[in-house]
Amino acid sequence: MDRKVIFKGRALPMLLLLPQLAVTLVFFIWPAAMAVWQSLLQQDAFGLSTEFVGLDNFAEVVADPAWRGAAANTAVFASSVAVLALGVALFLAVQADKAIRGQRFYRTMLIWPYAVAPAISAVLWLFLFHPSIGLIGRALNAAGVMWDYQLNGNQAMLLVIIASAWKQVSYNFIFFLAGLQGIPKSVLEAAAIDGARPLRRFWTVVFPLLSPTTFFLLVVNLVYAFFDTFGVIHALTRGGPGKATETLIYKVYVDGVDNLNLGSSAAQSVLLMLFVIALTMVQFRFVERRVHY
């Protein structure tokens, strides 16, 4: 059935499109364009004069060891968050898919963390892992582990990874569960009759059939780790100790807001933007090809 509505003139459709276009323009296109423009400018320290410097900001950023350090941090951070969040979510989804009783309860409880604001989730983890007031932090120290994420960069990284991944597990869980429930039961039964034990069944049938979901989530999780983890890092470590947990997005904030180096900050955010655009394009290409049925 053709549900398309045909408008006679052009005025009404234009008018109906206007609100959405306006929102996109004001909140997405305009700031993005401003960032690109800013990235080509340089201001003096007092903000009195601005000059056009072409791609100098970019050259400076890429050559800066601090930026490279942040890029390395981001690589470790983003891949760890993605792998951890995907792995835990997949495990939980498989368990929830098996559960017959209380499945809805289980599901609801697992989805909740997604509704928690990043700063609040960070505070939750802080209360758990703070070396002097945190439940687990104190227990670790009492057990003889030298735990203080405010001093130890690796521990700080571990903590922001866990806190960031925890929030994303819910999101991944929903998609994985839907993916699992989309696998025809008879296919699994056929595999069981063909002699495959549950673990073998998972790796040879379930996991390959979930691969489109997994790939989609991998991209979403990487984008999340790149951009949306600012709040967690800000509340937990502020990029410290030293620059141990300073990721690219956090450095954009520090350079732009704290150091007021707008040109460099804008150039960094443009680089990030390009990276995510590339990631999204890869995803569209790849996902279209890998759908099995």
* Residues at the contact surface with other proteins, assessed by CB under 8 A: 184, 186-187, 189-197, 200, 204-205, 208-209, 211, 292-293
Q: Among residues 103 and 204, whose Cβ is nearest to other proteins?
A: 204
If 0-12 CB within 10 Å is exposed, 13-18 middle and 19+ buried, where does residue 26 land? exposed
Q: How far is the CB of 78 from other proteins (least distance, A)?
A: 28
8 A C-beta contact, residue 66 and residue 259: no
Q: Among residues 24 and 204, whose Cβ is nearest to other proteins?
A: 204
Joined tokens for residue 191:
């595999």
Number of other residues whose CB lies within 10 A of the CB of residue 269: 24
Q: How far is the CB of 293 from other proteins (least distance, A)?
A: 4
Helix, strand or coil, per DSSP, at residue 51: strand
Q: Among residues 50 and 204, whose Cβ is nearest to other proteins?
A: 204
Q: How far is the CB of 292 from other proteins (least distance, A)?
A: 4
Q: How far is the CB of 176 from other proteins (least distance, A)?
A: 17
Please list the helix, strand and coil fractions of the chain in percent, rounded to the nearest 5, in that order: 75, 0, 25
> What is the signed CA dihedral for 271, 274, 275, 277, rounded to 10 degrees?
160
Q: Among residues 115 and 291, whose Cβ is nearest to other proteins?
A: 291
**Cα 80 to Cα 164: distance, rounded to the nearest angstrom:** 10
Q: Among residues 206 and 218, whose Cβ is nearest to other proteins?
A: 206
**Nearest to 43, CA basis, from 34, 33, 53:** 53
**Cα 254 to Cα 246: distance, rounded to the nearest angstrom:** 9
CA atoms within 13 A on the CB side of 93: 27
Q: How far is the CB of 30 from other proteins (least distance, A)?
A: 44
Q: How far is the CB of 185 from other proteins (least distance, A)?
A: 9
Q: Among residues 184 and 242, whose Cβ is nearest to other proteins?
A: 184
Question: Looking at this protein, which amino acid is placed at residue 98?
Answer: K
